[in-house]
Amino acid sequence: MLKKFNFGGELKPQKTPMGTSGGLDKDEDGVKVDEKEYRGMIGSLLYLTTTRPDIQFAVGLCMRF
């Protein structure tokens, strides 16, 4: 999945995928995201939540956007 979305060389393993404190907000000045690709990423991550419940929290937050 990392190769599919071109994240192979940029990521480092983490013990916890995302901190539970804090939250996400809209990035007004950021680069516009391709919605189709984003939905594909979220769909792939949703599949992983059935086999990796430790990433379920982070995927849930991303799905809200």
For 25-49, write each residue's pLDDT tens digit.
Answer: 777 888 888 888 888 888 887 777 7
Return the pLDDT at 18. Answer: 63
pTM of the model as a whole: 0.47
Q: Are 42 and 63 in contact (CB under 8 A)?
A: yes
Which of these, 48, 61, 50, lies nearest to 20 by C-alpha position?
61
What residue spans define the domains of the chain? 34-65
Return the pLDDT at 64. Answer: 74
Cα–Cα distance for residue pair 56/14, rounded to 1 Å? 15
Return the pLDDT at 34. Answer: 85
